[in-house]
Amino acid sequence: MSDAIDSFSQGQRISLVFGAALTRFTSALNDLHELLKLAATADRTRKRPDDLRRLGDLLTSQQRKTGERAAEKAFATANEQLEKLNGGPPVESPAGKRHPIAPEQAVAILIILIGPDATGEVARTYLEECGEDPDIARYGLSYFQWTRAASLVERTALSVLPASLASLEELIGSVLRIWLTMHPDALNASNKSMTAGDASSYASGDDIKRWAIDEAVRGVIDGSASHWRDVILKNLKVDMRELVADWSAFLEAVARRHVIVHSGGRVDQRYLDDTGTYDHGHELGDTVVCDHAYISATLDTFHELGEALAIGLLAKLVPAGGEPAALAAPFVLGALERSNWRHALVLSQAVVTTERGSSVLDELRINWWMARRECGEPLEVITSEVDKWTPNEEDLPIRLGKAALLFDEEATHLILLEYKRGGGEIPKNWPLVVAMRQKFPSIQKMCSGAGQVSRSNRPKKRR
């Protein structure tokens, strides 16, 4: 085993560690996507809780409806009184600025500021609506609370956002730790110094060096997302802002995680400060919503950033050799399969623009050209580059990719005939071939009934 490890180049060793960190990250986010799916399915099939069902079993259908309507009416009446109090004319502030009422303050405000009599009146009216029947009144309130409780997917989403961001922080910490291990003097993000007593407790200078690296990494991760960007851009020349389609949405997600964990989802001043450079649509005291759509989109953003950051930094740390291309290839293919052209371009750009002489680079280069084409780059520009490149004539898939890339119907047709004469399986689900099938009926006809072959080991699809 040691002989095999010793035969690995430094680039291969670094790539192994990067690949493991990236796999751990993508697996964690895929699992969180699946958790959201399970929660959504459970919400669609959810039934009344047993306690509520037992209350309802004591009543007729008409009595249950009476309690439900009465609870709705009582809530509306109490809410109107609260709105009048909060929306009345300002007494002391000419500007009229008001601080929002937290949910737990509402009852206290009704009792103390409106008065217990008014509160009692709401309760009396509610009981009258329920026909003075305590079972109906108890059922109506219980049903009302159940229908307004956060759904399972909403509660799951509230936990998924912190968990997904923690996975991203772990990935960023991992790649920074690898870099600092290679260049231990390159980053002084931590000002913490080790005491003489602590130093003497370690077995060697290498242990002290690892402690210093961990402290430096922690100093970066403990900072804001903008700080992460500044450190990585300054030291590794990779701009995190350019790795995702909407950097402001990423910053907002990080800020939203803070208010979810620390203030019950209510917007605080820190949130406003962190998101103040763009229109986030929230004001102080608002409650941020984390529904299925928001969390799914955020997971996709984190996914893109983590993949692009790991591959981009590996390309910087291993400027020669095929390891970055080998790691990037399945992720680029996955992005093309999802029609995420920009992400495919970002992933491939950092690798393909460096000559590496890798055997996997041909496929990656073709997919890079496709990403550029789908992002709107003129086909004639891409054609001029492709015409200067001659793929291995024995590599039928690469020749097929080149023909499909240029929308060359005749050449694609001839290559597909070679597949059929040789008994090979046409890679009909390769995004380049899919585009040809959609554009040319003749190509679609030739691919009909053809077997499917994977171009590479693909990463697990996100959803």
Distances (CA, A) of 111 to 43, 78, 91: 35, 11, 21
- Tell me: do 141 and 174 sit in the same domain: no
Q: What is the pLDDT of residues 181-221, one digit of tens each?
A: 887 776 554 455 555 455 556 556 577 777 888 888 898 89
Indicate whether 459 belongs to any domain: no
Structure pTM?
0.77
Examine residue 452 and state whether it is found in any structural domain, yes or no: no
- Residue 453 domain-assigned? no
Count Cβ atoms within 10 A of the Cβ of residue 303 and give its class: 0-12 exposed, 13-18 middle, 19 or more buried. buried
Mean pLDDT value across the chain? 82
Is 20 within the bounds of a domain?
Answer: yes
Domain, as residue range, for 348: 321-447
Residues 432 and 344 in one domain: yes
Residue 226 lies in a domain: yes
Q: Say what percent of the chain tops pLDDT 90.
A: 37
- Structural domains in the chain (count): 3
146 in the same domain as 157: no
In angstroms, rounded to a whole number, what is the distance separating the alpha carbons of residues 328 and 62? 63
pLDDT in tens, 271-316: 888 887 665 678 787 888 888 889 999 999 999 999 999 999 998 8
Same domain, yes or no: 272 and 337: no
| pLDDT score of 407 | 94
Are residues 293 and 195 part of one domain? yes
Check whether residue 192 and residue 285 sit in a common domain. yes
| One domain, residues 211 and 303 | yes
Scanning the structure block, which residue is given the tokens 């997971």?
Answer: 299
Across 151-160, 195-204, 361-370, 378-387, least confident range: 195-204
- DSSP assignment of 394-451 equals T-HHHHHHHHHHTT-HHHHHHHHHHHHHHTPPP-TTSHHHHHHHHH-HHHHHHHTT--
Domain boundary among 294, 313, 332: 313
Q: Does residue 165 lie in a domain region?
A: yes
